[in-house]
Every structure is written in structure tokens, then in C-alpha cells.
Amino acid sequence: MASRFLPKLRSSRPRGFFREFNYTLFTIATWIPAVIFFNGHVGEVTWINGSSMYPFLNSSYDESLEKDVCWTNKWSPITGLRRGMIVSFRSPSNPETVSIKRIIAVEGDLVFTRAPYPLPTVRIPVNHVWVEGDNKDTNKTLDSNTYGPIPVSLIQGKVTHVLWPWKSFGPIRWQEFRSRARVIKGRPENAPGWD
């Protein structure tokens, strides 16, 4: 089929190697915007840096330099957020870095906070979530205990699958996550709002 169209693409003049090469490069380059759209709105392969999600992700961070590779679903990222889901978002304390953390509490919940947070408990406001890293060492994760509840409009995607290492390959079963009894579940209508 393709051979039917290919001769049409090229002019009848003979071309040198470089002209042909440039033509191929240009054809590839015209698809770059499609890749940008796909990575921004459909899904993206993500390399996990650091140990904030240890032991769930980067479980061998202290043994090797290898990073876990995950798949981030970026289609309608702010719908259907549940406790236990792993999400990616631009860090509130540093806009140029992307953070990957677990949702601990959603709007209306009461959270018992950890060390750097100034208050012992906080009720999550409307359209906000409380995110934390899995690491028990609180020095290894920069999360809501430092910057507070984050607005859901910051969230870019949900981390849905582990692609590498091979032994943990597969979908992330976030439903099986049990938080460490520091959240009292509430109702969305009880969340503090601004209206």
C-alpha cells in the first residue's frame, strides 16, 4: 500500500545523499509535536528519582544506581482521585521539579500530621489532597507535611504501572494500600471551603 504513495512524495529529480537524509530528518521532526502532546496529555514513561517512595518504588535505591521506571497516565488526571493512588505533580516548593507521591487523604478527611507541619491535625479543604512519600524516614521525603495540602489542579498524572524492574512489573494495586492509621475519613461536604 505504502509503495503506491511513496513515489508521489519524492520529486522525479535525482537527489543526493544529504538531501535524502535531510528529508528523512524533517519527516521525523514533524512528528515531534505529536510526541509532546502524547507525553503531556495521554501518558508518559517516568523514571523515579530518590527514595521518597521506598520501599514501594526504588526498593533497591541503597544497593544500586538503577531507577524504577513507571507509566504515568495523564488522561483526565484530576478525576477519580482516591486515597492510596500515586500521583505526579509539580512540587509546590520547587515549580521546576516533578514530584511523585501517594495520596493519603482527600477533601474532608482529618489528617494527623508529621514533624515539620505546624499544626497537629488538619482538615483537608475542598479540591485539595494530602500527599506523602512512603518512606518512613521523614527526612527522605518532602511532602504535604512540609508544604501542606496541595490543590488538585497541580496534579498532572496518575502513576498506574511499574515497567521496570521486571520483578515488580505490572499495574500498581493502589487499592491495597493501608495508611498508617493517621487519617480519619470524612465526607467531601464537610471539607472547609471558601464560598
Partner 1 sequence: MTVFQRLSRPFNYLRDKYVGHPFLLVGATLKTLFVSHVFLEYGFTMGACEGASMLPTLEVYGDSVLISKAYRRGRGIKVGDVVQFDSVVEPGSQVIKTVLGLEGDYVLRDSPGTSGQMIQVPRGHCWVVGDNLDFSRDSRMFGPMPMALIKGKVIAKVLPWSERKWLINELKHVQ
28 touching partner 1, by CB under 8 A = no
Q: Comparing C-alpha atoms, which of 173, 172, 87 is closest to residue 132? A: 87
33 touching partner 1, by CB under 8 A = yes
Q: Report DSSP letters for 153-178, one per residue.
A: GGEEEEEEEEEESGGG-EE--GGG--
Residues 164-193: x where in contact with partner 1 by CB under 8 A, - otherwise, as a string: -----------------------------x
31 touching partner 1, by CB under 8 A = yes
Q: How far apart are CA 105 and CA 149, in angstroms?
A: 9
Residue 101 known to be catalytic: yes
Q: Indicate the residue among 68 and 143 with the shorter CB distance to partner 1.
A: 143
Q: How far is the CB of 98 from partner 1 (least distance, A)?
A: 9
Using DSSP, state whether 22 is helix, strand or coil: helix
Q: Indicate the residue among 79 and 175 with the shorter CB distance to partner 1.
A: 79
94 touching partner 1, by CB under 8 A = yes
154 touching partner 1, by CB under 8 A = yes
Q: How far apart are CA 14 and CA 34, in angstroms?
A: 31
Interface of this chain with partner 1, residues 108 to 137, rule: CB under 8 A: 125-127
137 CB-near residues (< 8 Å, 6+ apart)? none
Q: Which residue has the cell 517512595?
A: 53
Residue 8 known to be catalytic: no
Residue 79's CB is within 10 A of a number of other CB atoms, namely 8
CB 86 within 8 A of CB 52: no
Residues that bind partner 1 (CB under 8 A): 5, 8-9, 30-31, 33-34, 36-37, 40, 78, 89-96, 125-127, 147, 150-154, 193-194
